[in-house]
Amino acid sequence: MTTQSYAANTSTVNASAVNTDSDIQNQAEHSVLSQADTTTLASDAHSQSSSAQNSMANSSPEQVQQWVYTVQDKRQSDQVRANALRQLAPYPSQNSLVAVVRGLQDDSEAVREAAVIAAEPYQFTNRWRMLEPLLTDPNQQVRVTATTNLIRDFGNMSPKQQHTIESAYQELVVFLSAQANVKDHIQEDIQEDIEESTSENVQLNLKSALLLADVYRWHQEWDKAQSLYETLLKANPKNAQVWLSVADNLRAQGKDEQALVALDKAIVLQPNESNLYYSQALTLVRLEQKAKAADAIEIAANMAQTNSYFWYLNGVLQEPLDIDKSVKSFEQAYLISGAPEQLYAVCDIYVRTANDKTEQCLDELGKIAPDYVIAQLKAKIGDVK
């Protein structure tokens, strides 16, 4: 494991030190849209981000390994193996990757689709290599799930990759348009359709239409995305996830001031939604308003309470303003997650502030980190002195 896997530029507070794309928090929200069952979608951004950041505390390594075995046990039913793959999604590892790769090649379409979802945490280069063959899978649900997984990285694709995914993208748009009752892709029809639908169908329409708008955004069709977001906000102005997507759509176009205005409006409507403050903090970082960004992420961390990533970012943003608050935030992040990279962040801030608990922290980190990582941290002690 490299030093970079533990370090996270905790001493530098700028747009490069903090990933300012709130889509990171929202990716699992749109991992798949099932024709038969939309319950695989997270109900809101808060539940998604909390589960994504705290999953390490929820399942033991033994349980994760059991899911790995279950996926590859052909004696189990397709449904049981597919469910095991879905459970593996928050736990990327070498063993999990083996299970995912084998799942992607399985004869069962349900298992292949679940494997696409389980591939979510891996780097785009690896996901493209694994999922690109499924863009032409015999089963439509597998195809659209694979396309949804990959299309959010459209801006990072090579021209060849963009060309390869284009047909699959068009199929996904048609599929989602039908799901959302967008007749002939005319977005103005959504409002009428929603009003005529039952309560259960409204949920389906909103989720499908939001995913369609996000797909437009990821495909860099900003105006189409914005038009659909605005239609959705007319139907449900308090939908925090739509506001978050609006902010990301503006961010992608370099319109950070407008994104901040949108988030301010959203916070008035939903003052208890932690992800709105998180997105606001990222926007303020990009606008070089770091003190205000620190205030926003502190609100998000206190509001979410158990979101370790929010506490970690609070540590990053508070460091130049209030070192005691920064240290406590890094400590809280590690207490919640137990993640090695967050233990590294604690030790790093201890070293740089000559904290009395530095040696104890390094001893704990030394149980899981390579020797050279500890040596590099110890070298900083001399620099501090």
Q: Are 273 and 240 in contact (CB under 8 A)?
A: yes
Q: Which residues contact 259 (CB under 8 A, 6 or more apart)?
A: 246, 247, 248, 250, 251, 283
pLDDT band of residue 315 (cuts 50, 70, 90) is very high
pLDDT band of residue 277 (cuts 50, 70, 90) is very high
Res 239 pLDDT > 50: yes
Q: Which residues contact 190 (CB under 8 A, 6 or more apart)?
A: 180, 181, 182, 205, 209, 228, 231, 232, 235
pTM of the model: 0.80
Q: Output the pLDDT for position 59.
A: 72
Res 33 pLDDT > 50: no
Range scoring the smallest mean pLDDT among 39-43, 304-308, 366-370: 39-43
Res 186 pLDDT > 70: no
d(CA 88, CA 10): 29
Res 34 pLDDT > 70: no
Percent of the chain with pLDDT over 70: 78
Dump pLDDT digits (tens) for 190-231.
445 444 444 444 444 788 999 999 999 999 999 999 999 999
Structure tokens at 156: 């990072």
Name the average pLDDT for the chain. Answer: 84
Dump pLDDT digits (tens) for 326-358.
999 999 999 999 989 999 999 999 999 999 999
Q: Burial letters for 164-189: b for 16+ Cβ neighbours within 10 Å, e otherwise? A: bbeebbeebbebbbebbbbeeeebeb
pLDDT band of residue 380 (cuts 50, 70, 90) is confident
Q: What is the DSSP string of 174-239?
A: HHHHHHTT-GGG-TTHHHHHHHHS-HHHHHHHHHHHHHHHHHHHHTT-HHHHHHHHHHHHHH-TT-
d(CA 102, CA 56): 24
Q: Output the pLDDT for position 46.
A: 36
Q: Output the pLDDT for position 20.
A: 52
Res 312 pLDDT > 80: yes
Dump pLDDT digits (tens) for 103-150.
999 999 999 999 999 999 999 999 999 999 999 999 999 999 999 999
pLDDT band of residue 383 (cuts 50, 70, 90) is low
